[in-house]
Chain A
């Protein structure tokens, strides 16, 4: 019975596909995998916007939106109507084609990333042999669209914001990919489905998730920090926070195109959380062995919910990082940690199982963290302000 509920969507899809003529079967099968993704995740996006506004409000001692619908649940509909009815302003000297293509490319690239996320047992849109590589390849297309957005506005500040955004995204791609390489090393495969299947065993009641190993925990923390930076989320939201100061790369966008940028940002957030869940938190596997009767997709979306809540929590807590602080952090702290983490994962794999493995690998992760952290904070004492040119 629990098996049926777990596989209900797979069974439904097979039943539907069996009813169409054989010639169109592959197309219908693909459509039935893809259309739920396109319908479900924007719906989740709408829910996330309300959740974020209400969550941030509660953190800041106020209500969030609570007028539209019970507890403000229907606020996204009001937002959608507002965005769609705004005038679509394109600057006179802007590059109209590129100006239009940038948000489209961004949304397309972000949607493509969902194809390799296994949201449940046997529920993945495309079981590719190089799934993780596909995810990161598609994620790197977003940088190009950020540049297109910034350049096509023919606005100096837009371009500057775009350059800084691209620099941030490229810098944080390195620790992102390096920390996922540790998982790939441990699992021995690039396919997301088999990575999740390898984490679905239990010793006693505890799961085999990679996050419960020293290198996995360090990799998870690094991955999440890099993921926050990749999706331009607080505290790394200098590209979009600049809009409040001078201009960000989407300052010349209004109405629906701006909504598309917004959609792409949140979709990116969800897809990279989904990848973190797949790589480190066991995908659709239950956390304790006696909870496996809950369907697998509920576990995946439950974990995704916690990730989104974590993103919102961090946004409400931390101030924005400055550009040079951001870059310093990426290259001087996260890259060495990611490399040391790689070595630790290798050591873990080749040491025999036991308490010694845990101690050695934990020491190998904690010691560089403390030392690097101390070195990082060394130059950060609050001092009397000195001026370079004025006497």
Chain B
């Protein structure tokens, strides 16, 4: 009959209206910025440099190999190698980046830098409320701004961080096994030789 569809439509709308006061599924708005939707674990926004321990300069994993700078599609990473070396996570002396700048306004969050890094040094952060009114330097981040602790990495990507920790531990174990084998090879008999060649192989 004419008008039946209208009445049914009105009933549906009324159900929506009244239901929006009582049930959450009829009022799905999240009142940003007071409330926030939880982000997925694999969410990614812009990169950050991971450091172990407390000191961001001493514990930084990045060794300035410049692979990420070469692989970055929009070329937003600028690295300057240092002149001296510092010990890295496995104890070896490595270069470190004297300058590590990322132009976040250019970065397209493709995560290629994370995928190619052999040292698990650069990972993706999930912070997105990054507006600034400094037009010229506000979105060009230097290495101090980019350095965030491993604990932060564990907080934002728990499974990935656990996986990375496993990888690093396996590498460390391999390196230690190698040095132990080298030490064992260098000294097969109780020691008549001078300890100098063995000391040269010490890490």
For residue A374, CB closer than 8 A to chain B, the reply is yes
Q: In the complex the two chains form, is A61's CB within 8 Å of B2's CB?
A: no
Q: In the complex the two chains form, is B2's CB within 8 Å of A316's CB?
A: no
For residue A370, CB closer than 8 A to chain B, the reply is yes
Q: Mark B9-26, 1 if CB is under 8 A from A, else 0.
A: 110111011001100001
Q: B6 to nearest A CB, angstroms?
A: 7
Q: In the complex the two chains form, is B13's CB within 8 Å of A59's CB?
A: yes
Q: Kindly specify which of B27-35, B109-117, B187-195 makes contact with the partner chain.
A: B27-35
**Known interface pairs A314-B10, A318-B9; A62-B29 also in contact (CB < 8 Å):** yes
Q: In the complex the two chains form, is B6's CB within 8 Å of A374's CB?
A: no
Chain B's closest residue to A62 (CB) is B29
Chain B's closest residue to A315 (CB) is B13
Chain A's closest residue to B11 (CB) is A317
For residue B1, CB closer than 8 A to chain A, the reply is yes
For residue A377, CB closer than 8 A to chain B, the reply is yes
Question: Measured between alpha carbons, how far is A313 from B13 in the docked complex, in Å?
Answer: 8
Q: In the complex the two chains form, is B17's CB within 8 Å of A58's CB?
A: yes
For residue B3, CB closer than 8 A to chain A, the reply is yes
Chain A's closest residue to B2 (CB) is A373
Question: Measured between alpha carbons, how far is A61 from B17 in the docked complex, in Å?
Answer: 8
For residue A369, CB closer than 8 A to chain B, the reply is yes
**Known interface pairs A318-B9, A369-B2; A58-B29 also in contact (CB < 8 Å):** no
A370 contacts across to B, CB distance below 8 A: 1-2
For residue A206, CB closer than 8 A to chain B, the reply is no
Q: Mark B70-108, 1 if CB is under 8 A from A, else 0.
A: 000000000000000000000000000000000000000
Question: Measured between alpha carbons, how far is A61 from B26 in the docked complex, in Å?
Answer: 5
For residue A103, CB closer than 8 A to chain B, the reply is no
Chain B interface mostly: helix
For residue A139, CB closer than 8 A to chain B, the reply is no
B6 contacts across to A, CB distance below 8 A: 317-318
Q: A335 to nearest B CB, angstroms?
A: 15
Q: In the complex the two chains form, is A58's CB within 8 Å of B2's CB?
A: no
**Known interface pairs A314-B10, A317-B13; A63-B31 also in contact (CB < 8 Å):** yes
Q: In the complex the two chains form, is B10's CB within 8 Å of A373's CB?
A: no
A317 contacts across to B, CB distance below 8 A: 6, 9-10, 12-13
A372 contacts across to B, CB distance below 8 A: 2
**Known interface pairs A61-B16, A373-B3; A313-B27 also in contact (CB < 8 Å):** no
B14 contacts across to A, CB distance below 8 A: 313
For residue A214, CB closer than 8 A to chain B, the reply is no
Q: In the complex the two chains form, is B10's CB within 8 Å of A61's CB?
A: no
B12 contacts across to A, CB distance below 8 A: 317
Q: In the complex the two chains form, is B27's CB within 8 Å of A61's CB?
A: yes
B26 contacts across to A, CB distance below 8 A: 61
B9 contacts across to A, CB distance below 8 A: 317-318
B2 contacts across to A, CB distance below 8 A: 369-370, 372-374, 376-377
Question: Measured between alpha carbons, how far is A374 from B4 in the docked complex, in Å?
Answer: 12
Q: Mark B130-150, 1 if CB is under 8 A from A, else 0.
A: 000000000000000000000
Chain A's closest residue to B18 (CB) is A58
B16 contacts across to A, CB distance below 8 A: 58-61
Chain B's closest residue to A309 (CB) is B17
Which of A318, A370, A372 neighbours the largest number of chain B CB atoms within 10 Å of its CB?
Answer: A318
Question: Measured between alpha carbons, how far is A61 from B6 in the docked complex, in Å?
Answer: 20
For residue A120, CB closer than 8 A to chain B, the reply is no
Q: In the complex the two chains form, is A63's CB within 8 Å of B13's CB?
A: no
For residue A55, CB closer than 8 A to chain B, the reply is yes
Question: Measured between alpha carbons, how far is A377 from B1 in the docked complex, in Å?
Answer: 9
A62 contacts across to B, CB distance below 8 A: 27-29
Q: In the complex the two chains form, is A63's CB within 8 Å of B29's CB?
A: yes
Question: Measured between alpha carbons, how far is A370 from B2 in the docked complex, in Å?
Answer: 7
Question: Measured between alpha carbons, how far is A314 from B6 in the docked complex, in Å?
Answer: 9
Q: Mark A277-302, 1 if CB is under 8 A from B, else 0.
A: 00000000000000000000000000
Chain B's closest residue to A55 (CB) is B17
B17 contacts across to A, CB distance below 8 A: 55, 58-59, 313, 316
Question: Measured between alpha carbons, how far is A62 from B30 in the docked complex, in Å?
Answer: 9
Q: A212 to nearest B CB, angstroms?
A: 20
Question: Measured between alpha carbons, how far is A39 from B136 in the docked complex, in Å?
Answer: 52
- Beyond A59-B20, A316-B13, 9 additional contacts (C-beta under 8 Å) are A58-B16, A58-B20, A58-B21, A59-B17, A61-B27, A63-B31, A317-B6, A373-B1, A377-B2
A-B contact pairs, 15 of them (CB 8 A): A55-B17, A58-B20, A58-B27, A59-B16, A59-B17, A60-B16, A61-B29, A317-B10, A318-B6, A318-B9, A369-B2, A372-B2, A373-B2, A376-B2, A377-B2
- Chain A residues near B (Cβ < 8 Å): 55, 58-63, 313-314, 316-318, 369-370, 372-374, 376-377
- Chain B residues near A (Cβ < 8 Å): 1-3, 6, 9-10, 12-14, 16-17, 20-21, 26-29, 31
The 6 closest A-B pairs by CB, nearest first: A373-B2, A317-B13, A58-B20, A317-B9, A58-B17, A62-B29
